[in-house]
Amino acid sequence: MITEKQLFADLIQKQAVQKFSWIFIFGAILGFFSLTACSSVAPPVSEAPADQFDYAKRLYEAEDYQDAIMELQRISYNIRATELEDDVMFYLAQSYYKSEQYLLAVDTFKRLVRNTPGTKFARVVYFQIAMCYYNLSMPYQFDQQYTQLTIQQFQIYIDGYPAADSASIAAQIAELNNYADREKDNPEYQKLLGKLKAQYGLYDTLRIAEEKIRESREKLARKTFESAEQYIQLRAYKSAEVYFDEVILGYSDSPYYEKALLGKIDVQMTRKKWSDVLDTIEKYKARFPEKTEEVEDAFETAQRELSLSVNLNTPPAGR
């Protein structure tokens, strides 16, 4: 006779088998689609380094960055001091970058320019190193080490690859326009066109570099300004003034410059530094002449308090 306990155990076993079957089927389906996805990139035709690199590059272009990394790492040991070395290192670094492994990307980019100083990828490498630091930069509330590195690296890029003057570009365009439509297959035409495209590409990256520097400097200015505000909440007014001064002296191109001047005026008034208040107000008026009304009340108060203090310290006449 089958007991209730045996029936329950048999039911549990059947459910476990059914559950395992579904897991197996689901895993098989996933495996099938994984194999199908991998098979979209044809394997290398041979073990030759060039064919291996071609396969890795196709993986990269298919956005299969992890597999591209594995292949490029594997073949990187066999192509040292060959014409493929900088290509392999560049695509390895780019694969790290695309998969958001920015520290590994930086290290690989730096090894690329160190091992192959004359690499054709030099300009792109220096730009990408800066972009890695930019992506590693934390929000302003946190440590700003990578923000500082972003600014430094983009400045290195701007200094190292300045844009040609506009007159040179205009001359090339004029020369290009001299070719008739029927001559546009002419090698000289194509050469000039390539030069112009390179120049326009450089202008674009220089514009991005300048934007990233401005954005990063604004982040540093905000962090410094917020530190000043925190010291005000702690009633540490002298320390607050130090941080306002850091914004004023170091980030006059940021939107926090005006706020820092106004904050410094308030702090100096709280500290009753009336002469200093007037000096800071004069600096504010010189920079923002259209906004003098913003500091008019502070100006009148500082003048009045300064006059009172002078009168109190002046001895009576005849003594």
**Is residue 231 predicted with pLDDT exceeding 80?**
yes
- What separation, in Å, do the N-terminal and C-terminal C-alpha atoms of the chain show? 127
Instruction: Tell me what pLDDT residue 10 has.
Output: 54
- CB contact set of 226 (below 8 Å; sequence gap of 6+): 140, 141
Residue ranges and CATH numbers for the domains of the chain are: 219-309 (1.25.40.10)
Instruction: Tell me what pLDDT residue 215 has.
Output: 97
**Is residue 314 predicted with pLDDT exceeding 60?**
no
Instruction: Tell me what pLDDT residue 77 has.
Output: 86
Kindly report, residue by residue over 280-291, the tens digit of the pLDDT. 999 999 999 999
User: CA–CA separation, 124 vs 131, rounded Å?
Assistant: 10
User: CA–CA separation, 157 vs 280, rounded Å?
Assistant: 37
CB 221 within 8 A of CB 259: no
CB 129 within 8 A of CB 106: yes
**Is residue 15 predicted with pLDDT exceeding 90?**
no
Helix (H) or strand (E) holding 24: helix 4-38
Give the predicted TM-score (pTM) of the model: 0.76
Instruction: Tell me what pLDDT residue 21 has.
Output: 46
Cα–Cα nearest to 232, from 277, 273, 264, 276:
264
Which of helix, strand or coil describes residue 100? coil
Identify the residue whose tokens are 């290509």.
87
User: CA–CA separation, 85 vs 67, rounded Å?
Assistant: 19
Q: How would residue 242 be classed by pLDDT, with cut points 50, 70 and 90?
A: very high
Instruction: Tell me what pLDDT residue 194 has.
Output: 60
Other CB atoms within 10 Å distance of the CB of residue 220? 22
Q: What is the dihedral of CA 108, 110, 111, 113, to 10 degrees?
A: 130
Q: Is 143 left (phi over 0), alpha (psi -120 to 50) or beta?
A: beta
More confidently predicted of 245 and 174: 245
Kindly report, residue by residue over 25-75, the tens digit of the pLDDT. 444 444 444 444 444 888 877 888 899 999 999 999 999 999 999 999 999
Which of helix, strand or coil describes residue 182? helix
CB 93 within 8 A of CB 128: yes
Burial status of residue 163 (CB atoms within 10 A of its CB: 0-12, 13-18, 19 or more) = middle
Q: Is 299 left (phi over 0), alpha (psi -120 to 50) or beta?
A: alpha
Mean pLDDT of 218-247: 98
Mean pLDDT of 301-308: 93
CB 283 within 8 A of CB 291: no
Kindly report, residue by residue over 247-274, the tens digit of the pLDDT. 999 999 999 999 999 999 999 999 999 9
CB 260 within 8 A of CB 248: yes
**Is residue 147 predicted with pLDDT exceeding 60?**
yes
**Is residue 179 predicted with pLDDT exceeding 80?**
no
More confidently predicted of 96 and 31: 96
Tell me the two tokens of residue 223: 């962090």
Kindly report, residue by residue over 121-146, the tens digit of the pLDDT. 999 999 999 999 999 999 999 999 99
Instruction: Tell me what pLDDT residue 47 has.
Output: 86
Q: How would residue 78 be classed by pLDDT, with cut points 50, 70 and 90?
A: confident
DSSP structure string for 159-175:
HHSPPPPHHHHHHHHHH
